[in-house]
Amino acid sequence: MADMKLVVVGAGGRMGRTLVRIVSETAGMTVHAAVDRPDSSLIGQDAGLLAGIGEIGVPLTADPLAAVVGADGILDFTVPAATVGFAELAAQARIIHVIGTTGCSAEDEAAIDAAARHAVVVKSGNMSVCVNLLAVLVERAARTLGPDFDIEILEMHHRHKVDAPSGTALLLGEAAARGRDIKLDDYAVRSRDGYTGPRPQGAIGFATLRGGSVVGDHTVYLAGAGERLELRHVAEDRAQFAKGAVRAALWAWGRKPGRYDMADVLGLKD
């Protein structure tokens, strides 16, 4: 069988470089093209050299339209505005779009849903196997412990991260809400400042730390009267996210158009 041909968009970024490395190291797939912003100073540079694996003969291009010709899928860890454009491109080309980008608005999500009528979209706020397993544990814990246990989600990321709470924190919040049969939007408390009054019963709280080079730490607290459960994940290396994205692309290959997430890929919905 021919190699799966993948376009890495945002290939000059932290995740993009990691994806170029992991795709190049994975048997049965190749980096078909590497795309970044037209105003990036990295355009024209070899994607492999940027990824620290030596030249692979794929220069960074600012032309996504040409890049997807002949490709099987797009791996996308960029910014929401770019991701919406790539989703439309994936729909036109009827190919796979694996989306790791976080911070998408409801409008962005609607545009991605529309694209998923023609593209095979796998989108997740966190592509790591452990985090998706953690989400299952959080859902289970929230269901068992009920609203008498206060749920708080604490996350820390590196100083360059631009959105908050993290996509992973929101993914874990969604899992907790599912466990309680409520809608996260109705119960989320995303920040606190000043005279806030007591904690509303049933709230799912978020707290954000930013600093240094932290890849991603998440702790879900289920705090009751007299005891507390803490479920924690620590990401030490971006490669886990890239490996998850590659696994998602392989899973999506040959599947019918639609919108999927990592729980589908990992078979965690049974």
Catalytic positions, written as ranges: 157, 161
**Position 82 contacts ligand NAD (CB under 6 A):** yes
Residue located via tokens 């959080």: 138
Beta 96-99 vs 29-35: how paired, if at all? unpaired
Stretch that binds ligand NAD, among 36-44, 106-114, 190-198, 250-258 (CB under 6 A): 36-44
Q: What 3-state class would DSSP assign to 111?
A: helix
Cβ-based neighbours of 234, under 8 Å, separated by 6 or more? 216, 217
Member of 24, 26, 102, 132 binding ligand NAD (CB under 6 A): 102
Residue closer to ligand NAD, measured from CB, 85 or 258: 85
Shortest distance (Å) from residue 165 CB to ligand NAD = 11
> Judged by CB, which is closer to ligand NAD: 24, or 168?
168
With CB under 6 A as the contact rule, which of the stretches 31-39, 135-143, 178-186, 202-210 interacts with ligand NAD?
Answer: 31-39
Own/partner pairs, 231-239, CB within 8 angstroms, 24+ separation: 231/134, 231/137, 231/138, 231/141, 233/128, 233/130, 233/131, 233/134, 235/128, 235/131, 238/14, 238/15, 238/18, 239/18, 239/21, 239/22
Taking the alpha carbons at both ends of the chain, their separation in whole angstroms is 30
Number of residues in contact with ligand NAD, rule: CB under 6 A?
Answer: 25
Binds ligand NAD (CB under 6 A): choice among 96, 98, 127, 266: 127
Only one residue has tokens 């609607």, namely 110
Q: Does 43 bind ligand NAD (CB under 6 A)?
A: no
Q: By CB under 6 A, is residue 101 in contact with ligand NAD? A: yes
User: What x-and-dash track marks residues 225-244 binding ligand NAD by CB under 6 A?
Assistant: ----------------x---
Which residue has tokens 């954000």?
208
Check residue 210 for interaction with ligand NAD (CB under 6 A): no
Q: Is position 10 an interface residue for ligand NAD (rule: CB under 6 A)? A: yes
> Would you state the structure tokens that stand for residue 39, as one six-digit string?
């105003």
Minimum distance, C-beta of residue 115 to ligand NAD, in the bound complex (Å) = 16
Residues 6+ positions from 226 with CB-CB distance below 8 Å: none
Report, in Å, the least distance between residue 2 CB and ligand NAD. Answer: 26
Residue selected from 13, 73, 165, 179 as contacting ligand NAD according to rule CB under 6 A: 13
Nearest to 137 by CA among 155, 156, 157, 151: 151
Told to check if 12 binds ligand NAD by CB under 6 A, we report yes
Residue partners of 152: CB distance under 8 A and separation at least 6? 204, 205, 206, 207, 220, 221, 223
Is residue 125 at the binding interface for ligand NAD, with CB under 6 A as the rule? yes
Q: How far is CA 46 from the centre of its chain?
A: 25
The binding site for ligand NAD (CB under 6 A) comprises 9-10, 12-16, 35-37, 40, 77-79, 82, 100-103, 124-127, 167, 241
